[in-house]
Structure 1
Amino acid sequence: MSAPSTPSASPLPSTLVDELRAVFGDRLHLGEAMRSQHGASEAHFDTVLPDAVVFPHSTEEVVTLVRTCVAARIPIIPYGAGTSIEGNTTPTRGGVTIDLSEMNAILQVNAEDFDVTVQAGVRREELNAYLRDVGLFFPIDPGANATIGGMAATRASGTNAVRYGTMREAILSLRVVTPDGRDIRTARRARKSAAGYDLTRLMIGSEGTLGIITEVTLRLHGIPESIMSAVCSFETMGGAVDTVVQSIQLGIPLARVEILDDVQMKAVNAWSSLDYPEKTTLFFEFHGSERYVQEQVETVSALAAENGGGEFRWSNLPEQRARLWKARHEAYYAAVGLRKGAVGWPTDVCVPISRLAECILETKKDLETASIPGPILGHVGDGNFHVVFVLDPDKPEEAAEAEALNRRLVRRALDMDGTCTGEHGIGLGKQDWLVEELGEAVEMMRTIKRAIDPHDLFNPGKIFAL
């Protein structure tokens, strides 16, 4: 399900180039190298070049760009760090890619209210480094050092979602440029509101199809008094999943809990120079007071032992915790590294937690008989897990096999009343499954899209076809 490949898109009208050059100067790029960078994907999708790339520095410049391009009927594709993996920023119809990475100012920290307002191009690691001195942190952690605007546009999640939620819960307000060139704010900073339609939630996860997010106001949290990480390997996949489910059922507020199967652990050990057993493994993190964290560790350790877990290796040393989570964040690259010259096809589903063990075990059976590697990993605490198909790009039969395996996986998740994507978004890769999952609701989405963007110029071809 790759986007059609093309060496370059049709050139922009010279009058439009002149208008953009007058505003953006050398921040307008027409060269093939820059365009190729913004037309490529982290995953298996083919590269499609935009006609131009522009780096704005303010919301006002975004407004100017939008009005200029819309008047000329030129598509506009918002772009953050380029870490999305469902072809979400692929310029399927050419046009102008608007790279927001240089809009990276932290505008206002309201420590008393536990919130912060940032421009869309601020990256999550930079934000947390800035907040550290005021004792606050932003918990959403998708792994990649993504931009906040991109995380909002794709409704990102990550390793901390089991305790702190996703971008949907983290965002208080957005500043958005609409397809008709208006500059709007979707809400104020109040923690709740019943004022009109919830435009904030409408924009979250819309993948740049309804508006360009230029500023985000986020909820923050206090840095915990004590943080402890732990690793435990299991004899069976079922024992690992049961440990997580039972921990949640007991009300243990796990901050992070990640599952990596035996294939993924082999890849992680090789990539990150670790020496963990090559068995299904859980990575944990616990937050709270020192005494409370110790109680959590003891309870989860006992549950793990009852479910066939091995040694419960824990640490509260920052350098050891950092090494552990760095290995988890690089798990995708570790998986692709299992085969020289391979490409990755990552996919994800999410199911009700009561069906999680069943879904993972049936998926594992499929993968054990496959001819291609397919490591399993995921945010098991909220029912979300990933498979990374590791493919030889010169063997189309492997792509076909991955497509079949993915189809079985998504069908399995939907049959369990789950979703075709827990956090990757729809992009190009899961449009048919969105219709399968939500049916007539997708037509309502199309109605909204047509009303807001009647010429289909904002990130066209994503989520669904008009």
Structure 2
Amino acid sequence: MAEILDLPRNEHGIATVIEALAGQFGARLATSAALREQHGHTTTWLRTQAPDAVVFVQSTEEVQHVVRLCARHHVPVIPFGAGSSLEGHVNASAGGICIDFSQMNRILRVSAEDMDVVIEPGVTRKALNTHLRDTGLFFPVDPGADATLGGMAATGASGTNAVRYGTMKENILGLKAVLPSGEIVKTAARARKSSAGYDLTHLMIGSEGTLGLITELTLRLRGIPAAISAATCSFPSVEAACECVIATVQYGLPVARIELLDKLMVEAVNRYSKLSLPETPLLLLEFHGSETGVAEDAESFGEIAADFGGTGFAATTVEEERNQLWQARHDAYWAGLALRPGAKGISTDICVPVSRLAEAVTKAQTRAAELGMIAPVVGHVGDGNFHVLMLIDTDSPAEVEMAEGFVAWLNDMAIAMEGTCTGEHGIGQGKAAYLIRELGPEAMEVMATIKRGIDPQNIFNPGKMGLPNYG
């Protein structure tokens, strides 16, 4: 198993805090082993480090109360949204109290005229878009999983729509957070731009709960397109598909989504979702705009694809057909697991400059084949981001070691290409060793200085992001 540290525990402080919280929260404080394990659960090979208790909060004031109590007794605090993170973000390295935000799930205000919405962090992506449907607006960031928007902000999530609409960083106007001191900070007003002071909003986005606990978000909304067209096109090789992506981006074609499935993943999706796609590397795209515009965009892409050996190009504006294709993409993880029944799927991601995309994906496939590892590839390739799903027996030390070695090699390759070891999964525990290689010791020291300044006791999600342990 990958080595992660158990940090020193404050047993007396933890016991004192749990006793106080039990009297205040009653049934909303849980200490059962099963629930604690669930809130330390990781979807990677990292072993679970469960918190000592889970408290289900319902307001900013309750979060503030829990944090102040924990700060008084030097007890760690770990935020929890939906638990869909992939790099050990929710593990309790030093024990402590997990704050579950699932009951803070109110949509506080929709401002259709200003195209923004104010929500609590436990609202999920799907729930928000269902609520917005009658307004003609939607929130575009789609990581696949129905994650909470607070968790998506904390990890700097993105997804299939990022090539057109950007990541969480581009779609959050401001937020409210509880600091380790228990104070509440508001990072921005609702204006679409500002040059007032430090950019505290973006400091919190992607900080993985190490600087503040997000209790309110103001999100930028977009208009639901008048027409949407989904398209598929098959290619003779992954390299040809990636070269087509590069050409499409350079051409300036306004694709909303452009996803790659390699041959192995297409085979898996066909079986799992009962489709009949040609079992060669596939690009799955979506165009947003007017009926005329999406038709013209799809036609232009078909011409570009033909130059790279693309075949079987087909586009549809029929909602049921579009939804079937995208549901198949979102089910790719489960489809991939079926390629090796009984194995665990370990998903890792990197992001490289689009010009290096074809080289990076091809090298990743070659390396996996040399290791004899079943590892289908999918990716949000319009911005150079792709995922490798390794299917391994986690009870086999040899296979775990092989997978860890592959991830290390993949991360180093991305960094050498002036890319990143994580396009959207975040650092957490799993990629902590690579952040210093990517950013350098000077940047890490700046991050550590910020962390010490805001969280002098190191009680907010300690042991994450490669930050030093202290306090």
Contact 1:414/1:420 (CA < 8 Å) preserved in 2?
Answer: yes
What residue identity is the alignment partner of 1:400?
Answer: E
Residue of structure 1 equivalent to 2:267: 266
Q: Report the secondary structure of 2:312's partner residue.
A: coil
Task: String of CA shifts for 1:367-421, please: whole Å, max 9, x gaps.
Answer: 2222221111110000111111111122111111112222221111111111111
CA distance in 1, matches of 2:315, 2:349: 28
Alignment of 1:13-412 (within 5 A): 13-412=14-413
The answer as to 2:446 corresponding to 1:444 is yes
CA distance in 2, matches of 1:270, 1:185: 49
Q: Report the secondary structure of 1:113's partner residue.
A: coil
CA distance in 1, matches of 2:462, 2:5: 14
CA distance in 1, matches of 2:315, 2:352: 29
CA distance in 2, matches of 1:236, 1:344: 24
What residue identity is the alignment partner of 2:398?
Answer: E
Task: String of CA shifts for 1:327-379, please: whole Å, max 9, x gaps.
Answer: 11121222223212211221111111111111111112112222221111110
CA distance in 2, matches of 1:123, 1:244: 31
Contact 1:5/1:46 (CA < 8 Å) preserved in 2?
Answer: no
CA distance in 1, matches of 2:311, 2:11: 59
Contact 1:243/1:300 (CA < 8 Å) preserved in 2?
Answer: no
Residue of structure 2 equivalent to 1:464: 466
Deviation at 1:2, TM superposition (A): 4.7
CA distance in 2, matches of 1:272, 1:149: 31
The answer as to 2:457 corresponding to 1:455 is yes
CA distance in 2, matches of 1:465, 1:127: 33
CA distance in 2, matches of 1:11, 1:32: 19
CA distance in 2, matches of 1:323, 1:416: 35
CA distance in 2, matches of 1:181, 1:14: 20
CA distance in 2, matches of 1:426, 1:9: 25
Over 3 Å counting, the alpha-carbon distance change for 1:13 and 1:386 in structure 2 is closer
Deviation at 1:11, TM superposition (A): 8.0
Contact 1:374/1:388 (CA < 8 Å) preserved in 2?
Answer: yes
Deviation at 1:267, TM superposition (A): 1.7
CA distance in 2, matches of 1:2, 1:146: 27
Q: TM-score, normalised by structure 2?
A: 0.96
Deviation at 1:5, TM superposition (A): 8.4
Task: String of CA shifts for 1:13-51, please: whole Å, max 9, x gaps.
Answer: 544223212321210001111111111112222122110
Poorly superposed stretches of 4+, deviation over 4 Å: 8-14
Q: TM-score, normalised by structure 1?
A: 0.97
Percent identical among aligned pairs is: 52
**Segment of structure 1 superposing worse, 259-268 or 122-131:** 259-268
Task: String of CA shifts for 1:86-121, please: whole Å, max 9, x gaps.
Answer: 111111111111010110000011100110010000
Contact 1:10/1:51 (CA < 8 Å) preserved in 2?
Answer: no
**Segment of structure 1 superposing worse, 307-316 or 255-264:** 307-316
CA distance in 2, matches of 1:187, 1:420: 30
CA distance in 2, matches of 1:315, 1:11: 62
**Segment of structure 1 superposing worse, 311-320 or 111-120:** 311-320
Contact 1:11/1:51 (CA < 8 Å) preserved in 2?
Answer: no
What residue identity is the alignment partner of 2:361?
Answer: I
What residue identity is the alignment partner of 2:444?
Answer: V
Q: Report the secondary structure of 1:239's partner residue.
A: helix
Q: Report the secondary structure of 2:191's partner residue.
A: coil
**Segment of structure 1 superposing worse, 300-309 or 182-191:** 300-309
Over 3 Å counting, the alpha-carbon distance change for 1:191 and 1:261 in structure 2 is same
Task: String of CA shifts for 1:283-326, please: whole Å, max 9, x gaps.
Answer: 10000000010000001011112211111122111111111111
CA distance in 1, matches of 2:3, 2:255: 37
What residue identity is the alignment partner of 1:64?
Answer: H
Segments of structure 2 that go 5 or more residues without pairing to the other structure are none
Deviation at 1:273, TM superposition (A): 1.9
Contact 2:6/2:93 (CA < 8 Å) preserved in 1?
Answer: no
Contact 1:5/1:47 (CA < 8 Å) preserved in 2?
Answer: no
CA distance in 2, matches of 1:44, 1:337: 19
Over 3 Å counting, the alpha-carbon distance change for 1:2 and 1:131 in structure 2 is farther
CA distance in 2, matches of 1:408, 1:373: 16
Over 3 Å counting, the alpha-carbon distance change for 1:4 and 1:338 in structure 2 is farther
Q: Report the secondary structure of 2:371's partner residue.
A: coil
Q: Report the secondary structure of 1:129's partner residue.
A: helix
Contact 1:2/1:429 (CA < 8 Å) preserved in 2?
Answer: no
Deviation at 1:10, TM superposition (A): 5.5
What residue identity is the alignment partner of 2:401?
Answer: A
